[in-house]
Homo-oligomer: A and B are copies of this chain.
Protein backbone atom coordinates (compact mmCIF):
# COMPACT_ATOMS: atom_id res chain seq x y z
CA UNK A 1 0.00 0.00 0.00
CA UNK A 2 1.30 3.38 -0.96
CA UNK A 3 1.93 6.04 1.67
CA UNK A 4 2.03 9.83 1.63
CA UNK A 5 5.76 9.65 1.17
CA UNK A 6 5.44 7.55 -1.96
CA UNK A 7 2.94 9.99 -3.35
CA UNK A 8 5.11 12.96 -2.41
CA UNK A 9 8.14 11.45 -4.09
CA UNK A 10 6.31 10.55 -7.28
CA UNK A 11 4.65 13.96 -7.46
CA UNK A 12 7.90 15.72 -6.67
CA UNK A 13 6.49 17.62 -3.71
CA UNK A 14 6.84 17.49 0.06
CA UNK A 15 4.83 15.20 2.27
CA UNK A 16 3.18 18.14 3.98
CA UNK A 17 1.79 19.33 0.69
CA UNK A 18 0.34 15.93 -0.04
CA UNK A 19 -1.25 15.80 3.37
CA UNK A 20 -2.76 19.23 2.89
CA UNK A 21 -4.03 18.27 -0.51
CA UNK A 22 -5.62 15.05 0.73
CA UNK A 23 -7.28 16.47 3.79
CA UNK A 24 -8.28 19.67 2.06
CA UNK A 25 -6.87 21.81 4.85
CA UNK A 26 -4.29 24.49 4.12
CA UNK A 27 -3.45 25.69 0.67
CA UNK A 28 -1.94 23.90 -2.29
CA UNK A 29 -1.15 25.45 -5.65
CA UNK A 30 -2.97 24.28 -8.71
CA UNK A 31 0.20 22.91 -10.18
CA UNK A 32 1.02 20.80 -7.12
CA UNK A 33 -2.56 19.65 -6.84
CA UNK A 34 -2.46 18.26 -10.32
CA UNK A 35 0.81 16.47 -9.85
CA UNK A 36 -0.43 14.96 -6.61
CA UNK A 37 -3.73 13.93 -8.14
CA UNK A 38 -1.85 12.09 -10.85
CA UNK A 39 0.40 10.36 -8.37
CA UNK A 40 -2.52 9.35 -6.18
CA UNK A 41 -4.24 7.89 -9.18
CA UNK A 42 -1.17 6.09 -10.36
CA UNK A 43 -0.32 4.57 -6.99
CA UNK A 44 -3.93 3.98 -6.12
CA UNK A 45 -3.25 5.73 -2.88
CA UNK A 46 -5.73 5.59 -0.03
CA UNK A 47 -4.91 7.24 3.30
CA UNK A 48 -4.52 4.93 6.24
CA UNK A 49 -7.29 5.75 8.64
CA UNK A 50 -5.43 4.55 11.71
CA UNK A 51 -2.40 6.68 11.08
CA UNK A 52 -4.65 9.58 10.37
CA UNK A 53 -6.53 9.05 13.61
CA UNK A 54 -3.40 8.68 15.65
CA UNK A 55 -1.82 11.84 14.50
CA UNK A 56 -4.94 13.94 14.31
CA UNK A 57 -6.25 12.59 17.60
CA UNK A 58 -9.69 11.96 16.25
CA UNK A 59 -11.11 8.60 15.42
CA UNK A 60 -14.13 9.73 13.39
CA UNK A 61 -15.98 7.12 15.38
CA UNK A 62 -19.22 7.82 17.19
CA UNK A 63 -20.36 5.35 19.81
CA UNK A 64 -24.03 4.58 20.24
CA UNK A 65 -25.33 2.95 23.38
CA UNK A 66 -28.80 1.45 23.43
CA UNK A 67 -30.51 -0.54 26.17
CA UNK A 68 -31.94 -3.10 23.74
CA UNK A 69 -32.31 -4.03 20.11
CA UNK A 70 -35.56 -5.93 20.36
CA UNK A 71 -38.35 -4.52 18.26
CA UNK A 72 -38.43 -1.59 15.89
CA UNK A 73 -37.90 1.30 18.28
CA UNK A 74 -34.15 1.33 18.68
CA UNK A 75 -33.72 0.06 15.17
CA UNK A 76 -35.38 3.13 13.78
CA UNK A 77 -32.96 5.10 15.88
CA UNK A 78 -29.92 3.20 14.66
CA UNK A 79 -31.03 3.48 11.08
CA UNK A 80 -31.42 7.23 11.36
CA UNK A 81 -28.13 7.70 13.12
CA UNK A 82 -26.18 5.55 10.69
CA UNK A 83 -27.48 7.64 7.88
CA UNK A 84 -26.72 10.99 9.51
CA UNK A 85 -23.21 9.89 10.39
CA UNK A 86 -22.45 8.49 6.97
CA UNK A 87 -23.36 11.82 5.46
CA UNK A 88 -20.54 13.35 7.51
CA UNK A 89 -18.06 10.59 6.82
CA UNK A 90 -18.23 9.36 10.40
CA UNK A 91 -18.75 5.81 11.50
CA UNK A 92 -21.00 4.38 14.14
CA UNK A 93 -20.03 1.72 16.60
CA UNK A 94 -22.74 0.13 18.59
CA UNK A 95 -23.13 -1.21 22.08
CA UNK A 96 -26.32 -3.07 22.81
CA UNK A 97 -26.74 -3.46 26.54
CA UNK A 98 -29.71 -5.79 26.45
CA UNK A 99 -27.71 -8.68 27.82
CA UNK A 100 -26.50 -6.60 30.77
CA UNK A 101 -27.59 -7.95 34.12
CA UNK A 102 -26.37 -5.17 36.35
CA UNK A 103 -25.44 -1.53 36.31
CA UNK A 104 -21.86 -2.66 36.26
CA UNK A 105 -22.51 -4.58 33.05
CA UNK A 106 -24.12 -1.55 31.53
CA UNK A 107 -21.12 0.54 32.34
CA UNK A 108 -18.93 -2.13 30.82
CA UNK A 109 -20.83 -1.68 27.59
CA UNK A 110 -20.16 2.01 27.77
CA UNK A 111 -16.48 1.35 28.35
CA UNK A 112 -16.52 -0.88 25.30
CA UNK A 113 -17.25 2.31 23.38
CA UNK A 114 -14.97 4.62 25.31
CA UNK A 115 -12.02 2.26 25.05
CA UNK A 116 -12.38 2.49 21.32
CA UNK A 117 -11.65 6.20 21.54
CA UNK A 118 -14.91 7.34 20.08
CA UNK A 119 -14.95 11.04 19.39
CA UNK A 120 -18.46 11.26 20.74
CA UNK A 121 -21.11 9.15 22.38
CA UNK A 122 -24.83 8.97 21.95
CA UNK A 123 -26.83 7.31 24.68
CA UNK A 124 -30.46 6.42 24.75
CA UNK A 125 -31.31 5.81 28.32
CA UNK A 126 -34.64 5.99 29.99
CA UNK A 127 -33.54 4.49 33.26
CA UNK A 128 -32.75 7.38 35.51
CA UNK A 129 -30.40 5.52 37.74
CA UNK A 130 -28.80 3.62 34.92
CA UNK A 131 -25.67 5.67 34.81
CA UNK A 132 -24.28 8.37 36.87
CA UNK A 133 -24.55 10.32 33.71
CA UNK A 134 -23.43 13.54 35.25
CA UNK A 135 -20.11 12.01 36.16
CA UNK A 136 -19.63 10.68 32.68
CA UNK A 137 -20.55 14.03 31.25
CA UNK A 138 -17.72 15.61 33.19
CA UNK A 139 -15.21 13.07 31.99
CA UNK A 140 -16.54 12.93 28.52
CA UNK A 141 -17.55 16.20 26.95
CA UNK A 142 -18.95 14.86 23.72
CA UNK A 143 -21.85 13.02 25.18
CA UNK A 144 -25.44 13.42 24.17
CA UNK A 145 -28.47 11.71 25.62
CA UNK A 146 -31.84 10.74 24.29
CA UNK A 147 -34.92 10.04 26.39
CA UNK A 148 -33.38 11.50 29.46
CA UNK A 149 -33.06 14.85 31.10
CA UNK A 150 -30.66 16.16 33.72
CA UNK A 151 -29.47 19.60 34.61
CA UNK A 152 -25.84 18.67 34.24
CA UNK A 153 -26.44 17.85 30.62
CA UNK A 154 -28.28 20.98 29.64
CA UNK A 155 -28.32 21.39 25.89
CA UNK A 156 -27.31 17.79 25.38
CA UNK A 157 -30.59 16.05 26.18
CA UNK A 158 -33.08 15.18 23.51
CA UNK A 159 -36.55 14.18 24.35
CA UNK A 160 -40.15 13.85 23.38
CA UNK A 161 -42.85 15.44 25.46
CA UNK A 162 -44.37 12.29 26.88
CA UNK A 163 -46.54 14.29 29.19
CA UNK A 164 -48.36 15.60 26.16
CA UNK A 165 -48.27 12.14 24.58
CA UNK A 166 -50.02 10.53 27.53
CA UNK A 167 -52.66 13.24 27.51
CA UNK A 168 -53.28 12.89 23.80
CA UNK A 169 -54.00 9.21 24.29
CA UNK A 170 -56.41 9.95 27.13
CA UNK A 171 -58.23 12.65 25.21
CA UNK A 172 -58.60 10.44 22.18
CA UNK A 173 -60.19 7.65 24.17
CA UNK A 174 -62.48 9.95 26.09
CA UNK A 175 -63.57 11.70 22.92
CA UNK A 176 -64.60 8.32 21.60
CA UNK A 177 -66.75 7.90 24.67
CA UNK A 178 -64.62 5.47 26.62
CA UNK A 179 -65.14 5.77 30.35
CA UNK A 180 -63.83 2.43 31.60
CA UNK A 181 -60.28 2.38 30.40
CA UNK A 182 -57.41 0.07 31.24
CA UNK A 183 -53.71 0.64 30.70
CA UNK A 184 -50.60 -1.46 30.39
CA UNK A 185 -47.51 0.52 31.23
CA UNK A 186 -43.84 -0.07 30.74
CA UNK A 187 -41.57 -0.56 33.68
CA UNK A 188 -42.27 2.50 35.76
CA UNK A 189 -38.65 2.82 36.78
CA UNK A 190 -38.07 3.98 33.21
CA UNK A 191 -38.53 7.69 32.90
CA UNK A 192 -40.30 7.70 29.55
CA UNK A 193 -42.72 4.97 30.56
CA UNK A 194 -43.59 6.74 33.77
CA UNK A 195 -44.05 10.14 32.19
CA UNK A 196 -46.60 9.03 29.66
CA UNK A 197 -48.33 6.87 32.24
CA UNK A 198 -48.64 9.56 34.86
CA UNK A 199 -49.84 12.10 32.32
CA UNK A 200 -52.36 9.63 30.95
CA UNK A 201 -53.79 8.94 34.40
CA UNK A 202 -53.86 12.60 35.25
CA UNK A 203 -55.61 13.54 32.07
CA UNK A 204 -58.20 10.82 32.62
CA UNK A 205 -58.89 12.32 36.03
CA UNK A 206 -59.15 15.77 34.55
CA UNK A 207 -61.62 14.49 32.00
CA UNK A 208 -63.70 12.92 34.70
CA UNK A 209 -62.87 9.28 34.12
CA UNK A 210 -60.17 8.26 36.59
CA UNK A 211 -58.61 4.90 35.83
CA UNK A 212 -59.38 2.36 38.53
CA UNK A 213 -56.25 0.83 40.08
CA UNK A 214 -57.23 -2.70 39.09
CA UNK A 215 -57.20 -1.57 35.48
CA UNK A 216 -53.55 -0.55 35.67
CA UNK A 217 -51.01 -3.22 34.80
CA UNK A 218 -47.32 -2.53 35.05
CA UNK A 219 -45.61 -4.40 32.26
CA UNK A 220 -42.40 -3.88 30.33
CA UNK A 221 -41.54 -2.62 26.87
CA UNK A 222 -40.69 -5.99 25.39
CA UNK A 223 -42.66 -8.68 23.62
CA UNK A 224 -42.27 -11.03 26.56
CA UNK A 225 -43.18 -8.33 29.03
CA UNK A 226 -46.16 -7.49 26.88
CA UNK A 227 -47.33 -11.07 26.85
CA UNK A 228 -47.22 -11.30 30.61
CA UNK A 229 -48.98 -8.02 31.12
CA UNK A 230 -51.65 -8.86 28.58
CA UNK A 231 -52.22 -12.20 30.25
CA UNK A 232 -52.51 -10.45 33.59
CA UNK A 233 -54.99 -7.94 32.25
CA UNK A 234 -57.16 -10.56 30.63
CA UNK A 235 -57.03 -12.75 33.71
CA UNK A 236 -57.97 -9.90 36.01
CA UNK A 237 -61.63 -10.09 35.14
CA UNK A 238 -62.02 -6.34 35.15
CA UNK A 239 -63.95 -4.87 32.28
CA UNK A 240 -62.99 -1.97 30.06
CA UNK A 241 -63.84 -0.72 26.64
CA UNK A 242 -60.39 0.57 25.75
CA UNK A 243 -56.74 -0.05 26.60
CA UNK A 244 -53.85 2.38 26.42
CA UNK A 245 -50.60 0.49 25.92
CA UNK A 246 -47.34 2.16 26.88
CA UNK A 247 -45.74 1.25 23.58
CA UNK A 248 -46.63 -0.29 20.24
CA UNK A 249 -45.03 -3.65 20.86
CA UNK A 250 -47.30 -4.21 23.81
CA UNK A 251 -50.28 -2.98 21.82
CA UNK A 252 -49.43 -5.42 19.08
CA UNK A 253 -49.26 -8.28 21.53
CA UNK A 254 -52.57 -7.22 23.02
CA UNK A 255 -54.30 -7.07 19.66
CA UNK A 256 -52.99 -10.51 18.81
CA UNK A 257 -54.24 -11.95 22.06
CA UNK A 258 -57.64 -10.27 21.78
CA UNK A 259 -57.98 -11.64 18.28
CA UNK A 260 -57.04 -15.06 19.57
CA UNK A 261 -59.84 -14.86 22.13
CA UNK A 262 -62.34 -13.67 19.60
CA UNK A 263 -62.61 -10.21 21.06
CA UNK A 264 -63.08 -7.67 18.33
CA UNK A 265 -60.88 -4.59 18.03
CA UNK A 266 -62.16 -1.90 18.07
CA UNK A 267 -65.69 -3.36 18.23
CA UNK A 268 -65.39 -4.75 21.73
CA UNK A 269 -62.23 -3.09 22.87
CA UNK A 270 -60.28 -0.15 21.49
CA UNK A 271 -56.51 -0.31 21.64
CA UNK A 272 -54.15 2.60 21.42
CA UNK A 273 -50.37 2.29 21.37
CA UNK A 274 -47.45 4.67 21.71
CA UNK A 275 -44.40 5.49 19.56
CA UNK A 276 -45.73 4.83 16.08
CA UNK A 277 -43.01 2.42 15.07
CA UNK A 278 -42.76 1.14 11.53
CA UNK A 279 -45.19 -1.75 11.81
CA UNK A 280 -48.17 0.24 13.13
CA UNK A 281 -49.94 0.56 9.76
CA UNK A 282 -49.82 -3.21 9.39
CA UNK A 283 -51.31 -4.65 12.51
CA UNK A 284 -54.81 -6.00 12.06
CA UNK A 285 -56.51 -3.65 12.59
CA UNK A 286 -54.01 -0.90 11.89
CA UNK A 287 -52.89 0.56 15.18
CA UNK A 288 -54.01 3.92 16.47
CA UNK A 289 -51.10 5.29 18.38
CA UNK A 290 -49.34 8.33 19.71
CA UNK A 291 -46.80 9.31 17.12
CA UNK A 292 -43.42 9.99 18.70
CA UNK A 293 -40.96 11.59 16.30
CA UNK A 294 -38.22 9.09 17.01
CA UNK A 295 -36.35 9.62 13.80
CA UNK A 296 -36.40 13.38 14.06
CA UNK A 297 -35.20 13.20 17.62
CA UNK A 298 -32.43 10.77 16.76
CA UNK A 299 -31.29 12.92 13.91
CA UNK A 300 -31.27 16.03 16.07
CA UNK A 301 -29.31 14.30 18.80
CA UNK A 302 -26.87 13.10 16.23
CA UNK A 303 -26.52 16.52 14.67
CA UNK A 304 -25.89 18.22 17.96
CA UNK A 305 -23.32 15.60 18.85
CA UNK A 306 -21.57 16.21 15.55
CA UNK A 307 -21.69 19.93 16.19
CA UNK A 308 -20.14 19.58 19.62
CA UNK A 309 -17.57 17.09 18.48
CA UNK A 310 -16.45 18.47 15.17
CA UNK A 311 -17.53 22.08 15.35
CA UNK A 312 -20.20 21.68 12.71
CA UNK A 313 -23.39 23.68 12.60
CA UNK A 314 -26.03 21.17 11.70
CA UNK A 315 -29.59 22.06 12.57
CA UNK A 316 -31.14 20.47 15.59
CA UNK A 317 -33.91 20.75 18.09
CA UNK A 318 -34.00 19.47 21.65
CA UNK A 319 -37.64 18.91 22.35
CA UNK A 320 -40.26 17.21 20.27
CA UNK A 321 -43.97 16.97 20.48
CA UNK A 322 -45.90 13.81 19.83
CA UNK A 323 -49.12 13.80 17.87
CA UNK A 324 -52.02 11.48 17.45
CA UNK A 325 -51.94 8.89 14.69
CA UNK A 326 -55.46 7.58 14.47
CA UNK A 327 -55.95 4.37 12.55
CA UNK A 328 -58.42 1.53 12.95
CA UNK A 329 -57.77 0.05 16.37
CA UNK A 330 -59.77 2.66 18.19
CA UNK A 331 -63.46 3.37 17.75
CA UNK A 332 -66.42 4.76 19.60
CA UNK A 333 -67.44 3.13 22.82
CA UNK A 334 -70.51 0.95 22.54
CA UNK A 335 -71.85 1.87 25.92
Contact = CB atoms under 8 A, between A and B. Distances in A.
Copy number in this complex? 2
Contact of A283 (B48, B91, B256): B256
Contacts of A72: 72, 75
Nearest to A94: B82
A70 B46 CA distance: 32
Interface in A274-297: 278-279, 281-286
A95 B96 CA distance: 17
Interface stretch (A109-117, A208-216, A308-316): A109-117
Interface in A66-110: 69-72, 75, 78-79, 82-83, 86, 91-96, 99
A259 interface: yes
B82 A69 contact: yes
A94 B94 contact: yes
Interface residues of A, number: 48
Contacts of A281: 223, 256
A11 interface: no
B115 A46 contact: yes
A79 B69 contact: yes
Contact of A256 (B50, B78, B282): B282
Interface of A: 46, 48-51, 53-54, 59, 61, 69-72, 75, 78-79, 82-83, 86, 91-96, 99, 112, 115-117, 223, 249, 252-253, 255-256, 258-260, 278-279, 281-286, 328
